[in-house]
Amino acid sequence: MEEREKGAPRSPTRSTAVGPFVERFRVGWGDLDGNNHMANRAYLDHAADVRILLFARHGFPGARLATERIGPVIVRDELSYRRELRLSEEFTVDLQAMGLSEDGSRYLLQNTFLNGEGELAARVASEGVWFDLERRRPRPPPPDLDAIQRAMPRTEAFRILSARRDAV
């Protein structure tokens, strides 16, 4: 896999076929907490980076979100830790859909963090909505963005969400 700086985007490719999506990172100095392991905010930052990279790589980069006046809003994150990640340790983060509303406006996503030995380090479950930046309320995504999220890999427990907020 090519080396790149944490958070640096790669050129997006245009495709709605979304296979397994995994990004490789290395724990940096700024990722650490006072206990000398990766801080919870760093897990959330990497989870967000992977979400945005998936959409960018499939033809919907940040600039397109701005043009469409729509943004992803995470209304809740749940973090489960299993193993510590320490300075300079390599790790991977994947992304799978746990749920999606019929109109595509609401979603549940799961990021799995594996250490360099392939052991589970943590999971992040995120509940989000696509948000209309002008009307300031949730809305369905544009059809091509919706097609990307519907083509994402899914967890075994994937479910259809109601139009109202569900629990993660």
Residue 88 and residue 82 in contact, taking contact as beta carbons nearer than 8 Å:
no
User: pTM value?
Assistant: 0.86
In this prediction, residue 166 has a pLDDT band, given cuts at 50, 70 and 90, of low
Residue 55 and residue 15 in contact, taking contact as beta carbons nearer than 8 Å:
no
CATH classification number, 23-161, choose in 3.10.129.10, 3.40.50.10680, 3.40.50.670, 3.40.640.10? 3.10.129.10
pLDDT higher than 60, residue 14: no
pLDDT higher than 90, residue 46: yes
Coil, strand or helix: which one is 58? Answer: coil
The pLDDT of residue 19 is 73
pLDDT higher than 50, residue 12: no
The pLDDT of residue 15 is 40
The pLDDT of residue 69 is 97
Which two tokens mark 123? 């999971």
Sign of CA pseudo-dihedral 117, 168, 8, 144: positive
